[in-house]
């Protein structure tokens, strides 16, 4: 029976790229909880977890296309250093957030600094990567009214 929507699902996971390099894990720390049906995790991953039973383990491979999309060169731009705050010492790998014309938040990372030119990348850090998840379903419970109103799972002491 599928887990369905409006549930708080708690998992342990290990995420690796297709070469087996460790990208992230909850092993040795607190498990991860999310509210189903609210697009808080990759949709294909949520579909796979939806078929699991508590205590079950599963390996889930998700292609780049179904994860964070293919890497797009059109999301890489060159801007002038003057567009950044004067009091910030820019470094490669720094992350910033800017606002789109519609007001939505757009995170980006500095990829290159060449004189007064700064190359920024709006691609998700995992764009273009095929992902391999090892999942263990720890718990499933009904979401509280407060969690549904807030649109996310809360931890044992109210907010996560």
What's the pLDDT tens digit per position in 15-42? 999 999 999 999 999 999 999 999 999 9
Residue ranges of domains in the chain: 7-68+126-150, 73-121
What's the pLDDT tens digit per position in 73-109? 999 999 999 999 999 999 999 999 999 899 999 999 9
For domain 73-121, say whether CATH 2.60.120.680 is its number.
no
pLDDT at 69 over 80: yes
Q: What is the mean pLDDT of the chain?
A: 94
The CATH code of domain 7-68+126-150 reads 3.10.50.40
Per-residue burial over 2-36, b if 16 or more Cβ lie within 10 Å, else e, is ebeeebbbbbbbbbbeeeeeeeeebeeeeebbbbb
**Cβ-based neighbour number of residue 43 at 10 Å:** 11
Confidence category of residue 156, pLDDT binned at 50, 70, 90: low
Per-residue burial over 48-65, b if 16 or more Cβ lie within 10 Å, else e, is bbbebeeeeeeebebebe
Please state the pTM of the whole predicted model. 0.83
Torsion of CA 20, 125, 38, 99, to 10 degrees: 180
């Amino acid at each position: 029976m599928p887990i369905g929507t409006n549930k708080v699902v708690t998992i342990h996971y290990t995420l690796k790229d297709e070469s087996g390099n460790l990208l992230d894990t909850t092993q040795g720390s607190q498990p991860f909880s999310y509210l189903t049906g609210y697009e808080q995790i990759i949709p294909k991953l949520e579909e796979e977890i939806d078929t699991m039973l508590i205590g079950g383990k599963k390996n889930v491979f998700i292609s780049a296309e179904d994860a964070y999309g293919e890497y797009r060169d059109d999301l890489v731009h060159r801007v002038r250093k003057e567009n950044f705050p004067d009091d910030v010492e820019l470094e490669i790998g720094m992350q910033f957030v800017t606002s789109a014309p519609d007001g939505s938040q757009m995170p980006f990372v500095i990829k290159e600094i060449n004189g007064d030119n700064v190359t920024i990348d709006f691609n998700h850090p995992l764009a273009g990567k095929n992902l391999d998840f090892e999942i263990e379903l720890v718990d499933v419970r009904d979401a509280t009214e407060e969690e549904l109103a807030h649109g996310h799972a809360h931890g044992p002491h109210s907010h996560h």
